[in-house]
Amino acid sequence: MEVYKFGGASVKDAQNIRQLAEIVKQAPRPLVIVVSAMGKTTNALEKIIDAYFFHNKDFSQQLQKIKNYHSEIAQELFPDSHSVFNYLERLFLRLENELSRPPSMNYDFDYDRIIVFGELISTTIISQYLNLQGQNNLWIDAREIIKTDNNHREGNVDWQLTETLIRKQLDFSNTDLYVTQGFIASDRNNQSISLGREGSDFSAAIIASALSADKLTVWKDVDGIYSADPKRFSQAQKINNLSYRETIELAFYGAKVIHPKTLKPLKDKNIPLYVKSFVNPQQPGTVIHSFAEDLSPKVPVIIVKDSQILISLAMRDASFITEKEIEKIFAIINRHKSKNNVMQRSALSFSFCTDYDHAHTPAMIEELKNHFTVKYNTDLTLYTIRHYTREVIEKITAGKEILLHQQSRHNVYFVVKETTEVPQTSL
């Protein structure tokens, strides 16, 4: 059996959903398809959650926009009297219901119980549309098959329970096609839990692994993995084969190709991962598998991560930063669920660069201030160049203010302040 994953871009409008149905029609059976929220719905829901949680602001217009967006897509795909409109109405009522409860004290908990609607709505439309096309399928609530701890916004999977549930529920006894959501799961108390932004790839890998799939295909709006973002770098090269290891390295530093957690479950079961274009499905795309070790690129790979903050800590009395202090720093970083991308230590200071998260970073800084003198710069960009050459480093760093620079045998990292609008760089 195989698993297909369709990201937000590949279900962003009626035309793409028709294309999805075409791809699914050609696909082998049995098949599980895992689908993200449509287009930028998750971003839009995040804005609503912020308005709801932090600002007590009116979000009815934003909510209406999300409703209209999905209704218009459904109107293009279904006849007027189709039952999908009832299902959508019910889902929107449930979403409104969640938003009419007073916020809890826990942002991440509230985030999860609201964010899941993006995927619940998209898969309802997709499942019904496939049925309408004669591709009979069963819709599965992913929260009933993927179980995590209660670490909201980045649940840690309970592998054993999850595997048992997936095998039991997706046994293909009544169908050869299941449709389910990426990104969403639940804890043992059946509270909604999300798996981290862009986590649908990971969901697909969890399912592929539990069912020992022959392969997982991730359908995207690009035709594979590139050595750099083709939109930012004119000479980005397509990579045909990658090893799991190499892909994990790329994903960890923010290559937008695949969620970093996706690879491990696949690697453990030796399941190849295909990254393919849903516009040109006949193109081979990129294949990630265990035999690719020698084929992995030695071309420089450039990964850009925006919205970084560089935080520098020093002792108030200008004494050394000892291991004891570093232990304290890491405990605080961990408590605030911060992702530490690069770090550097000198005798008197400890600096680290992390993704800026408006719900957590300010509180982390406040806590650090209780112990250290804290300085920070925001709106930074982290460049990682893997398999770097001098020439590429010079091109990337030209005209940029470098705040932190670190180099290892395979990778070089630059935390920079972009001085101008990001121009297209030719490599």
Check residue 200 for interaction with ligand ASP (CB under 6 A): yes
- Picked from Mg ion, ligand ASP, none, the partner binding residue 182 (CB below 5 to 8 A depending on kind) is ligand ASP
Pick the closer one to ligand ASP by CB: 337 or 400.
Answer: 337
| CB nearer ligand ASP, residue 259 or residue 386 | 259
Query: Which of Mg ion, ligand ASP, none does 199 bind, CB closer than 5 to 8 A by kind?
Result: ligand ASP
286 makes contact with ligand ASP (CB under 6 A): no
Least CB distance from residue 36 to ligand ASP, whole Å? 3
Q: Is 36 in the site for Mg ion (CB under 5 A)?
A: yes
Angle between helices 41-50 and 60-77 (to 10 degrees): 160
Nearest-angstrom CA–CA distance, 169 and 180: 12
Distance of CA 160 to the CA centre of its chain: 23
- Our CB check for ligand ASP shows the closer of 11 and 382 to be 11
Q: Please, which residue, 44 or 385, has the CB nearer to ligand ASP?
A: 44
d(CA 241, CA 164): 32
Rounded Cα gap, residues 427 and 393, in angstroms: 10
* Residue 45: exposure state from Cβ atoms within 10 A (0-12, 13-18, ≥19): buried
Pairing of strands 215-220, 192-194: unpaired
- Of 182 and 265, the one with the shorter C-beta distance to Mg ion is 182
> Binding residue for ligand ASP (CB under 6 A) from 197, 238, 269, 405?
197
CB-based contact 238:225 (threshold 8 Å) = yes
Q: Does 260 bind ligand ASP (CB under 6 A)?
A: no
CB 271 within 8 A of CB 208: yes
Return the number of the residue (36 or 194) whose C-beta is nearest Mg ion: 36
Residue 296 binds: one of ligand ASP, Mg ion, none (C-beta under 5 to 8 A by kind): none
Q: Which of these segments, 11-19, 28-36, 185-193, 285-293, binds Mg ion (CB under 5 A)?
A: 28-36
Cross-strand partners of 351: 312, 344
Q: How far is the CB of 370 from ligand ASP (least distance, A)?
A: 33
Closer CB to Mg ion, residue 195 or residue 353? Answer: 195
Closest CB 277 distance from Mg ion, rounded Å: 16
Minimum CB distance to ligand ASP smaller for 199 or for 297: 199
Among 42, 131, 162, 247, binds ligand ASP (CB under 6 A): 42
16 binds Mg ion (CB under 5 A): no
Using the rule CB under 6 A, is 199 a contact of ligand ASP?
yes
Largest Cα separation within the chain, whole Å, is 73
d(CA 91, CA 12): 19
Radius of gyration of the chain, Cα coordinates, nearest whole angstrom = 23
Q: Considering the rule CB under 6 A, would residue 300 count as an interface residue with ligand ASP?
A: no
Stretch that binds ligand ASP, among 34-42, 240-248, 365-373, 404-412 (CB under 6 A): 34-42
Part of the chain binding ligand ASP (CB under 6 A), chosen from 57-65, 85-93, 195-203, 224-232: 195-203
Q: Residue 163: what are its φ and ψ, rounded to 5°?
A: -60, -45
Which is closer to Mg ion, CB of 9 or CB of 27? 9
Quote the CA–CA distance of 118 and 115 in Å, as a whole number: 6
The least CB distance from residue 198 to Mg ion, in Å, is: 6
Residue 118 in contact with ligand ASP, rule: CB under 6 A? yes
The two structure tokens encoding residue 173: 């006894």
Query: Element (H or E) spanning 210, and its range?
Result: helix 200-210
Among the candidate windows 7-15, 124-132, 211-219, 367-375, which touches Mg ion by CB under 5 A?
7-15
Cβ at position 7, least distance to Mg ion in Å: 5
Give residue for tokens 């020992």: 212
* Closer CB to Mg ion, 182 or 285, in the complex: 182
Q: Which two tokens stand for residue 47?
A: 């804005």
Q: Which residues of 286-319 are buried (b: 16+ CB within 10 A; e: fewer)?
A: bbbbeebeeebbebbbbbbbeebbbbbbbbeeee
What residue number has its CB nearest to ligand ASP? 200
| DSSP count for the chain of H helices, then E strands | 12, 18
Question: If DSSP states are collapsed to H, E and C, what string results for 347-386?
Answer: CCEEEEEEECCCCCHHHHHHHHHCCCEEEEEEEEEEEEEE
Which tokens hold the place of 101?
């409860």
271, amino acid identity:
I
Q: Which stretch binds Mg ion (CB under 5 A): 34-42, 286-294, 342-350, 373-381?
A: 34-42
269 binds ligand ASP (CB under 6 A): no
* Contacting residues toward ligand ASP, per CB under 6 A: 7-8, 36-37, 42, 118, 182-183, 197-200
* Contacting residues toward Mg ion, per CB under 5 A: 8, 36
